[in-house]
Amino acid sequence: MNREIRVREVRVIGPEGEQLGILPTPDAFRQAQESGYDLVEVAPTSVPPVCRIMDYGKYKYELSKKEHQSRRHQKSTQVKEIKLSWKRAIRPKSPSPIGDVKWPTKKWAAR
């Protein structure tokens, strides 16, 4: 971004998306400064590297908003666990009716 670009020439894309052509890096930087924007390298591996004149702060803000929206609309799954024990089978049956509803309740809680 801006002064960190170390190549001699870059392909420049304007703030509205129009091609400005291949320019020397200092000229491209000067043009970005005059229009009040930043010169951002978007494709450093191409020959010559592609740079875009844009408001970098606004770009980062929009990126974080998109990321926040995608996280907000994402469906999360949660695995529920229950602990079942077989002690009920060993003990004598209790006269209480509460003991009889223990398994269906645990089964219902697992859903």
- Whether the Cβ atoms of residue 22 and residue 48 lie closer than 8 Å to each other: yes
The per-residue pLDDT for 98 is: 54
Amino acid at 44: P
The C-alpha atoms of residue 30 and residue 36 are separated, in whole angstroms, by 10
User: With contact defined as beta carbons under 8 Å apart, do 9 and 23 qualify?
Assistant: yes
Q: What is the pLDDT of residues 79-108, one digit of tens each?
A: 777 776 655 545 555 555 555 556 566 666
Kindly report, residue by residue over 43-81, the tens digit of the pLDDT.
Answer: 888 888 998 998 888 888 988 999 888 888 777 777 777
Q: Which residue has the tokens 């803000």?
A: 61
Helix, coil or strand: residue 31:
helix
Give the pLDDT of residue 64.
Answer: 92
More reliable by pLDDT, 104 or 16:
16
Tokens of 65: 């908003």
| pTM recorded for the entire structure | 0.55
Specify the amino acid at residue 28.
A
Q: 2-58 — its CATH code? A: 3.10.20.80
Strand order in the sheet with 38-43: 19-24, 9-13, 50-54, 38-43
